[in-house]
A and B are shown apart, each in its own frame.
Chain A
Amino acid sequence: MDTPSRKPDAAAQLPATAGATVGRRKFLTHGITAAGAAVAGIALPARAAEPIGKDFPAWATTMGKPLSTYGQPSRFEEPVKRYTGSAYGTLAPGTGTARTPLEKLEGVITPNGLHYDRSHNGTPEIDPAKHKLLIHGLVKRPLTFSIADLSRYPMVSRICFIECAGNSSATAISPEPPQGSAGLVHGLVSCADWTGVPLALLLDEAGVDPAGKWLLAEGADSAAMSRSVPMEKAYDDAIVALYQNGERLRPENGYPVRLLLPGWEGNMSVKWLSRIKVTDGPTHTKDETSKYSDPMPDGKARQFTFEQGVKSLITRPSAGMTMNGAGLYEISGLAWSGAGRISRVEVSLDGGATWRDAALQGQALPKSLVRFRLPWDWNGQPAQLQSRAIDEKGNVQPTRKAYKAENAVDGRFHNNTITTWSIGADGSVKNVYV
């Protein structure tokens, strides 16, 4: 593959003084002494004619950069960045998506600067000292909280993914398989360690009326993004999140506070959360009717399909990479399910005809990305790589064919189908439909 290059011969990397092949001239120069020592059974080192520095790179013979107050990636990692796409171009540069470069990352935690971002009217610059969260509607006591207030509450932390309902939509609607990288096509999913206040705590302080079956969550951005959430989810595992991977939320991920609904479509984890209204039913906002609903072939549409389906994706190798000759490779990928834990990931090398189990890395946390791996001795012949995830509820990742049968021709949300990477004899990796 193109990213990991083969390591140079280890011996060639060793400093010259450590190599068995070096020092012949020095041996001759000091041969007598050394020979004498050898006779005595003591190995005396040869004296170097020059300082050792000539055998080290410049960064080992000069002072390093000063200490920094906030670390940044190496400049050599500059190409590792999000893929941005604005739906309306310069008309609204903040409206669209910034996708995680999945194929350039490893493990399961997405660095904060690379977490995906889907914004409906740009990222607001919110002064946390002026931001408030209002809880009202069908409650005994309407309440408003400052960020300082919320920061004093008991908190929970959990590692979980967020995936946009529109992730992988290109493969849902495009008649020809898109050839963008894994991240460009499937990068509207990321995973972080989120910390915040359980929403249930705040709702209990407000005192939810028994008639309050839903709530409306609304953001402070200029789109005032709003979604209806069933009360059961609020009391199950909803978090009013303040921290992302240990630091305060990034602006494009909802600074200073966002809702976090683990396992549910990303749009519902309302960023820049400023209002929660307890209601007796759903509000039927724009983003739960005209968007993020799932049209079916008969003209009807499924509404409130909240949970993100069981899904997996091989990130290495993936579209756009090149296999660097036959030999041992590691197939590496990500699996996740909005229903809970991933229990199994299978990999096929022949387009789904036969399957073998991949190893799951570490503990498979519920509603989190999980890394899977499988060693693969590529014989240099064409192959079709697929991964298929199964979760603890027994849900099995579907094929594209099954998805197309259940959705209208323009249905593009909640596409959790199996991706196929076709490996050519020339080492090329392409996206194909099978």
Chain B
Amino acid sequence: MSTFKPLAVSIAVAALLGACATQTTDTVVPTRGPNLGRTPTAQEIRAADISIPPSGAGLPAGSGDAKAGAQVYASKCLACHGEKGAGKPADALVGGIGSLATPKPLRTVGSYWPYATTLFDYTRRAMPLQNPKTLTDDEVYAVSAYILFLNGIIAENAPMNAQTLPLVKMPNRDGFVDYSRK
């Protein structure tokens, strides 16, 4: 029992020292870490940095047009997204432009997505669903061009690449209201 005595004394002292000593811990947020992070190599960062913002920063070299994209689409995308991006079982990619304010809105890449860079970003990171990240950059550019062409947004022979893709003006570019500060 003697081991309990010092503890009891210290609790009593702590209580005398005031509220700080007996403060509950749910308001304590650590403010300092042990600095264990390692500096990654430039190559490590390059390999991981696959996100593409609307500016197109980070788009890779390579190029592709709708004709080449139709081939990629037929072998890699059609089974889920249907003929010419009509959808079923997965999302429709084509059509619906002008439908958003009607009683039957159809939200597709063409009618709803505000930036073409998102199409490249998402296709390259997550498609095709069974084998994501297996398309070459040329294939991603080409299949992006094909979807944009089917939507009537670019010409069939317009190449998509790091320069041209960010310049594509999507029909619903101004269709979003930013609520991040509301």
Binding site for B on A (CB under 8 A): 87-89, 91-92, 95, 120-121, 134-136, 141-145, 149-150, 152-156, 197-198, 201-202, 204-206, 216, 218, 222-224, 226, 230, 274-275, 277, 279, 281-286, 289-290, 293, 295, 297-306, 408-410
| Contact, CB under 8 Å: A135 / B37 | yes
Given contacts A144-B44, A149-B37, are A198 and B105 in contact (CB under 8 A)?
no
Which residues on B sit within 8 Å (CB–CB) of A222? 126, 132-133
- A290 with B34, Cβ < 8 A, contacts A283-B53, A284-B54, A285-B122 known: no
In the bound complex, residues from chain B placing their C-beta under 8 Å from that of A226 are: 51, 125
User: B179 contacts the other chain (Cβ, under 8 Å)?
Assistant: yes
Flag if B179 contacts A302 (CB, 8 Å).
Answer: yes
Give 1 or 0 for each of B113-154: 1 = CB within 8 Å of chain A CB.
111011001100110011011000000000000000000000
Cβ proximity bits B25-58 to A, threshold 8 Å, 1 near / 0 not: 0000111111111111000110011111110000
Bound CA span A345–B167, Å: 51
Q: How many residues of B contact A (CB 8 A)?
A: 52
A224 to chain B, nearest CB (A): 4
Residue contact B175 to A299, C-beta cutoff 8 Å: yes
Residue of A nearest to B130 (CB): A92
Q: A91-B80, A216-B51 are in contact. Are A300 and B180 (CB under 8 A)?
A: no
Q: Using Cβ atoms and an 8 Å threshold, which residues of chain B touch A230?
A: 180
Nearest CB on A from B57, distance (A): 9
- Looking at the assembled complex, report how far the CB atom of B113 sits from the nearest CB atom of chain A, in whole angstroms: 5
Q: A91-B80, A284-B117 are in contact. Are A134 and B44 (CB under 8 A)?
A: yes
Q: How far is the CA of A106 from the CA of B38 in the complex (A)?
A: 44
Contact B30 A223 (CB under 8 A): no
Contact yes or no, B31 A304, CB < 8 A: no
| B18 part of interface (Cβ distance < 8 Å) | no
Q: How far is the CB of B143 from chain A (nearest CB, A)?
A: 15
Query: Which B residues lie at the A interface, using CB under 8 A?
Result: 29-40, 44-45, 48-54, 80, 89-91, 100-101, 103-105, 107, 109, 112-115, 117-118, 121-122, 125-126, 129-130, 132-133, 175-180
Name the 4 nearest CB pairs between A and B, nearest first: A143-B37, A299-B101, A154-B30, A304-B180
Chain B contacts for A142, CB-based, 8 A = 39-40, 45
Contacts of B36 in A (CB 8 A): 145, 149-150, 152-153
A residues near B176, Cβ cutoff 8 Å: 289, 293, 300-303
What's the nearest-Cβ distance from chain B to residue A157, in Å?
8
Q: How far is the CA of A297 from the CA of B100 in the complex (A)?
A: 8
Q: Which residues of A contact B32 (CB under 8 A)?
A: 154, 201
What's the Cα separation between A136 and B45 when bound, in Å?
Answer: 8
Decide yes or no: A153 and B107 within 8 Å by CB, A230-B180, A301-B177 being known contacts: no
Is the CB–CB distance between B45 and A134 below 8 Å? yes
**Contact between chains at B37 and A201 (CB < 8 Å):** no
- Contact in complex: B107, A410 (CB < 8 Å): yes
Inter-subunit contact A284/B115 (CB<8 Å): yes
Query: Are B107 and A290 in touch, CB under 8 angstroms?
Result: yes
Which of A121, A135, A152, A293 is within 8 Å of B132, CB to CB? A121
Residues of chain B lying within 8 A (CB to CB) of residue A135: 37
Q: Are A88 and B89 touching (Cβ within 8 A)? A: yes
Using CB atoms, name the residue of chain A closest to B108. Answer: A290
**Judging by beta carbons under 8 Å apart, are B179 and A304 in contact?**
yes
Which residues on the A side are within 8 Å of B178 (C-beta)?
303-304
Given known A-B contacts A120-B126, A285-B121, A290-B109, A295 and B179 have beta carbons under 8 A apart? no
Q: Is the CB of B29 within 8 A of A156?
A: yes
Q: Is the CB of A156 within 8 A of B129?
A: no
Among A150, A153, A198, point to the contact of B29 (Cβ < 8 A): A198
Chain B neighbourhood of A197, CB < 8 A: 33
Give me 17 other A-B pairs in contact (C-beta within 8 A), A290-B112, A302-B177 excluded. Answer: A144-B38, A144-B39, A154-B30, A154-B33, A201-B30, A201-B33, A205-B37, A224-B126, A224-B132, A283-B53, A284-B53, A284-B117, A289-B114, A293-B176, A297-B101, A304-B178, A410-B105
